[in-house]
Amino acid sequence: MSNSTLKDKLAARRFVVTAEITPPASFDAADLMAKAMPLKGLADAVNVTDGAGARAHLGAVTAAGLLLQSGIEPILQFACRDRNRIALQSDLMAAAALGIRNMLMLKGDDPKQGDQPDAKPVFDLDTVGLTQLAVHMRDKNELPHGRKLGGAAAFFIGAADMPIDPPAGWEPKSLKAKIAAGCEFAQTQFCMDVAVLRRYMARLAEQGVKLPMLIGISPLRSTKSARWMREKLFGTIIPDALVERLEQAADPAAEGRRICVDLMREMATIPGVAGVHIMAPGNEAAVADVIREAGAIKRSA
């Protein structure tokens, strides 16, 4: 039996639902737990973002450890932007020492997009290099230069992906490189067009990609928020038909939650889709409601 509940559920072909929280800008752990506890017992695992939006928050390693202590399985997002390889190695050891297993390797947002645009990015390693580093430390019990490590790590390593409507001849080169480096699951940018997703997953299958894919969706609050996401969040796919549903609804926020549940049930029928990753920028309170309303969903493919 694996030490990672998320890994176990994916191996058992359960339809997995993960969620995401951004740690607060706070010295107080209670502020973090106020965001996380509504998801306990509902989400299969909860992502802890790492400097999301290129803004300072409570440190992700510490935040993930606090979730784990409270009985919530974390997925620690790990960004290349802020650390050189020495700091990355140290934080990987820290995560393992806390019992954190699930890791999502990310590039990290450009500091110029945040609230301290003069901050200097590091990018000593890219996401492929960071994945290779974590795999090496886990499997060899040593640092890349050969220094031995005490104890053991049981990292379950994920990658970010961005579905597209694949044109003729397109190949998933970036995702294949991450798989070759050792990633074991993927979470995607928002892709709320089921037809596009079917075509994307079919292309991955044609290209021999076999990786548990958790598709990014959101309980949209309004047409304004849907349009903002399409314009401001690179790679976001929200079809016009969903925007129209929100426009016509007497209660757009409630309709947004219903859309999210509908998408979960449709995506469970798509071959290769292992689950969904629910993100709700500025609307985190809706995530627990959506998971509760959806109930148990079975993969039919």
Provide the whole-model pTM: 0.95
Tokens of 282: 């500025």
The answer to whether 142 and 134 have CB atoms below 8 angstroms apart is no
> What's the residue count for the chain?
301
Among 301, 225, 213, 298, which Cα is nearest to 257's? 225
Region 131-157: mean pLDDT is 98
Helix 285-294, helix 252-267: angle, nearest 10: 50
E strand or H helix at 75: strand 74-79
pLDDT at position 4 is 53
pLDDT at residue 147, as a whole number: 97
pLDDT for 3 beyond 70: no
pLDDT band at 298 (very low <50, low <70, confident <90, very high): confident
pLDDT in tens, 279-296: 997 788 899 999 999 988
pLDDT in tens, 45-62: 999 999 999 999 999 999
Q: Tell which residue, 232, 241, 236, has the closest CA to residue 259.
A: 241
Query: Which residue's entry shows tokens 């802890």?
Result: 48
Q: Could you tell me where the DSSP H helices lie in the chain?
A: 5-11, 29-36, 60-69, 85-98, 127-140, 173-181, 194-206, 223-232, 240-248, 252-267, 285-294
How far is the C-alpha of 60 from the C-alpha of 215, rounded, in Å?
22
List, for residues 210-267, the tens digit of each pLDDT value. Answer: 999 999 999 999 999 999 999 999 999 999 999 999 999 999 999 999 999 999 999 9
**∠ CA 5-11-15, rounded to 5°:** 80
Question: What is the C-alpha to C-alpha distance for residues 211 and 165, in angstroms, rounded to an integer?
Answer: 19
pLDDT in tens, 166-204: 999 999 999 999 999 999 999 999 999 999 999 999 999
Confidence band (pLDDT; 50, 70, 90) for 1? very low
Domain boundaries, the chain: 5-161
Question: Would the pLDDT of 2 be above 60?
Answer: no
Q: Is the per-residue pLDDT at 36 higher than 60?
A: yes
Q: What is the mean pLDDT of residues 90-107?
A: 98
Enumerate the β-bridge partners of residue 190: 216
- The rounded mean pLDDT for the chain is 95
β-strands 156-161, 45-48: how paired? Answer: unpaired
Mean pLDDT of 8-27: 96
Q: Among the CATH numbers 3.20.20.220, 3.40.50.740, 3.80.10.10, 3.40.50.720, which is that of 5-161?
A: 3.20.20.220
